[in-house]
Amino acid sequence: MTTEDRLIQWYPGHIAKAQRQLKEKLTLVDCVVELVDARLPKSSHFPFVDELLGQKPRIMAINKSDLAPQESLEAALAYWREKGFPTVALNIPGREGVQELRKELGLYHAALSAKMKQRGRIPRKLRTLIMGLPNVGKSTLINALINKRSMKVGDKPGVTKSMQWVSIAKDLELLDSPGVIPPKLEDQHVALKLALIGSVSEHSAPPVQLAELGLQLLHTEFPGYLQKAFGQEPIYLPEIGRQRNFLQKGGEIDLDRTAISFLSDLRSGKLPVLCLEKI
């Protein structure tokens, strides 16, 4: 795919608005937790975030670690730690890493309190912005930290539409934010991977095209994967449809249904786990 035929594009109005708001909200927060996806731990972080955050203290959280192989998770942890960020791996449904992150935030709060006392001021709660790409699990993380289903979550990008504060215990205030991505997905190779992990809307491109490009990418970049997942490599959409018996009236294969089901299984980890980039 070239940059000219830009198939995958998705930048809804609420994301544009959130991106503008993030800048002003940043002046109110003490630190940031940036979530990246364990299946794309480098390129689910975007350079504009570094520009935006500047020197603001930041913790990196590699989420959905249950959906990536252990070796790539370890490489991703090393990658972000080498850049100087405290980094945790999270599997929120499995409750892995959440306490570690909670402890890390506790340390930041202790440091803030000490600084404020030194200046003769009354310590306050630590204000933390939770940010990252759409559908990475920001609102789910907040719910896990507060132990309540307070934020709306969903299995698609663009669920959180506006910034929202929530207070926990005596020491923390968290700011949930809508997922952000670059306005133009210039690198369509990365855009395809973002679509495959569910961080750009499934409506950003026709599902059959996405699925076909996905199968092609898996075959060329991850030889052996399709064999493991479908018992055949290469494999094309009609064959998956046949395996799954997705037939229309008249016996023709329902390609749309096949594509949607393949994409959904890949996203949710029903197919074998996979990290979509080399670290």
Ligand X SMILES: Nc1nc2c(ncn2[C@@H]2O[C@H](COP(=O)(O)OP(=O)(O)OP(=O)(O)O)[C@@H](O)[C@H]2O)c(=O)[nH]1
Contact 208, 256 (CB under 8 A): yes
Distance of CA 5 to the CA centre of its chain: 25
Among 136, 229, 235, 253, binds ligand X (CB under 6 A): 136
* Burial of 163 (C-beta count, 10 Å sphere; 0-12/13-18/19+): middle
The residues, ordered by sequence, that sit 6+ positions from 216 with a Cβ below 8 Å of its Cβ are none
The residues, ordered by sequence, that sit 6+ positions from 182 with a Cβ below 8 Å of its Cβ are 46, 48
- Torsion angle, alpha carbons of 32, 82, 50, 6, to 10: -120
| Residue 265 in contact with ligand X, rule: CB under 6 A | no
Residues of this chain that bind Mg ion (CB under 5 A): 138-139, 159-160
What does the alpha-carbon distance between residue 69 and residue 254 come to, in Å, rounded to a whole number?
A: 32
| Residue 67 in contact with ligand X, rule: CB under 6 A | yes
| Residue 159 in contact with ligand X, rule: CB under 6 A | yes
**Which one of the spans 62-70, 121-129, 203-211, 226-234 is the region binding ligand X (CB under 6 A)?**
62-70
Chosen from ligand X, Mg ion, none, partner binding at 135 (C-beta under 5 to 8 Å by type)? ligand X
Using the minimum distance from each CB to ligand X, give the nearer residue, 67 or 237. 67
CB of 260 to Mg ion, least distance (A): 23
| Residue 179 in contact with ligand X, rule: CB under 6 A | yes
Among 91, 201, 258, 261, binds ligand X (CB under 6 A): 91
What does the alpha-carbon distance between residue 137 and residue 3 come to, in Å, rounded to a whole number?
A: 29
| Residue 158 in contact with ligand X, rule: CB under 6 A | yes
CB of 112 to ligand X, least distance (A): 25
Which residues here bind ligand X, judged by CB under 6 A? 63-64, 66-67, 90-93, 134-140, 153-155, 157-160, 178-179, 269
